[in-house]
Structure 1
Amino acid sequence: MTSAEMTVGDLIDLLAEFDRSAPVRQAMNPFFPMAHRLAQVVQSVDRTGRTVVYLAEGRDEDAQLGHLPPEVAMELTWQGPVETPPRRPRRRAGGN
């Protein structure tokens, strides 16, 4: 990519290496990473007269799929690896 914004051509080039039958998801909000189903692609014109293409999630209540898988958030550098805290011994009845 040569500009700050990804172009349709950039997106096509990036997608060309993936399985064409794989579903497409949109990752949103790096501070609370969520996955969304894409439902529409719409072309419009911005306030400067430049053509812009929007990828939109569906209106269905199941369009938001929940939390982004941690490995995807890490790949996007939205979060670092998280280790499970060490387990503490369980307490027993009677204070031990």
Structure 2
Amino acid sequence: MTSPDMTVGDLIALLSDCDRSAPVCLAMNPFFPMAHRLAQVVQSADETGQTVVYLAEGRDEDTQLGHLPPEVAVALTWQGPVQAPPRRPRRSAGGN
């Protein structure tokens, strides 16, 4: 049986393809997608004694970076791709 939880090994494997100098942010709240600055990594144990690693946002007021870029929300399947509505011809000043 496989666990639905991402492991540290899974995270390292996913990060290994990324630019090592890029900042790391947390994508939070699929209903109001925001980006947050990652500040800490803490290892602890849960109530069953299993080791768990927590990624935490910072406490500074600039920790929340703003809205998540739409392409990221789409890639996370938190939002569907949005297309602009088709343009209608403009009416002339004479009402035609």
Which category describes the TM-score, using the shorter chain as reference length? 0.7 to 0.9
Percent identical residues: 79
Aligned twin of 2:53: 53
Distance 1:24 1:80 in 2: 24
- Residue 14 of structure 1: aligned partner: 14
- Displacement of 1:5 in angstroms is 0.2
TM-score normalised by length of structure 1 = 0.86
Task: Flag as ranges the 4+ runs of structure 1 deviating above 6 A.
Answer: none
Gaps of 5+ in 1: none
| Cα distance in structure 1, aligned partners of 2:86 and 2:57 | 39
For residue 10 of structure 1, what is the amino acid of its counterpart?
A: D
Which residue does 1:79 correspond to in 2? 79
Q: May I ask how many residue pairs the two structures share in their alignment?
A: 93
- Unaligned 5+ segments in structure 2 are none
Which residue in the other structure is 1:25 paired with?
A: 25
Deviation of 1:4 after TM superposition, in Å, equals 0.4
1:67 maps to a residue whose letter is: H
Measured in 2, the distance between the counterparts of 1:59 and 1:7 equals: 25
Could you say what the CA RMSD is over the residues aligned between the two structures, in angstroms?
Answer: 1.8
1:35-46 to structure 2, matched below 5 A, reads 35-46=35-46
CA distance in 2, matches of 1:87, 1:56: 44
